[in-house]
């Protein structure tokens, strides 16, 4: 049983979402809808097809766990997203805008506005940290003395 005093002091992004609609089944169908859109995109579709081939079910289950962990804070996911993306050499920084565009569309079409806003804000923050891990280089005067 969570201690309400502790919960009250946690910042909103660390609290599990408490909404009657949002459970694992709801998150699972959002994930499936989202990856359906991504797979038919001419730029992102082939990147996913090359990595995942025809075995989508494990990826969809893993992504459902991931989003349950992010939104419901249930510890369902324990993978490492950064290395999984670092090995995707075809991905460009602006591909994240395409990804986020579909994510926004999906969340807005399936969720009440306040719920969509939480999913979108989390996705944007995680996308930002993945982009930093994948593309950040110290460039500029003095950065590359060699
Ligand atoms: C252009 C943007 C992106 C592309 C092309 C992309 C592509 C992929 C691909 C192909 C995989 C499967 C890797 C594999 O199994 O070998 C993967 C895994 C994953 N992606 Fe992305 N991704 C993108 C953005 C994001 C964002 C923004 C998030 C989170 C909000 C995310 C979360 C994950 C997670 C959690 C995994 C599973 C990692 C693991 O534990 O194996 N991805 N992604």
Up-side HSE of residue 84: CA atoms within 13 Å toward CB?
12
Output the residue whose Cα is nearest ligand 1's atom 28: 127
pLDDT of residue 54: 87
Distance CA 61, CA 27 (A): 10
Q: 123 CA to middle of ligand 1, Å?
A: 11
For residue 139, pLDDT over 80 is answered with no
Distance CA 130, CA 73 (A): 20
Percent of the chain at pLDDT exceeding 70: 88
At the fourth CATH level, the homologous superfamily of domain 19-134 is Globins (1.10.490.10)
For 5-60, what is each residue's pLDDT tens digit?
556 677 777 799 999 999 999 999 999 999 999 999 999 999 999 999 989 999 99
**Greatest CA separation found in the chain?**
58
Output DSSP code: residue 10.
S
Please list every protein residue whose CB sits less than 6 Å from any atom of ligand 1: 44, 47-48, 51-52, 62, 66, 79-81, 84-85, 88, 91, 95-96, 99, 123, 126-127, 130
Domain limits of the chain? Answer: 19-134
């Amino acid at each position: 049983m969570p201690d309400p005093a502790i919960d009250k002091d946690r910042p909103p992004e660390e609290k599990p979402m408490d909404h009657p609609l949002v459970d694992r089944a709801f998150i699972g169908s959002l994930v499936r809808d989202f990856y359906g859109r991504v797979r038919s995109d001419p730029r992102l579709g082939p990147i996913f097809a090359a990595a995942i081939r025809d075995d989508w079910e494990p990826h969809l289950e893993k992504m459902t766990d991931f989003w349950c962990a992010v939104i419901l804070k249930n510890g369902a996911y324990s993978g490492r997203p950064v290395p999984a993306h670092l090995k995707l050499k075809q991905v460009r920084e602006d591909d994240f805008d395409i990804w986020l565009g579909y994510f926004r569309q999906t969340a807005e079409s399936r969720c009440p506005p306040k719920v969509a806003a939480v999913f979108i804000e989390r996705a944007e923050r995680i996308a930002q940290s993945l982009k930093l891990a994948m593309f950040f280089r110290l460039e500029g005067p003095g950065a590359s003395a060699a």
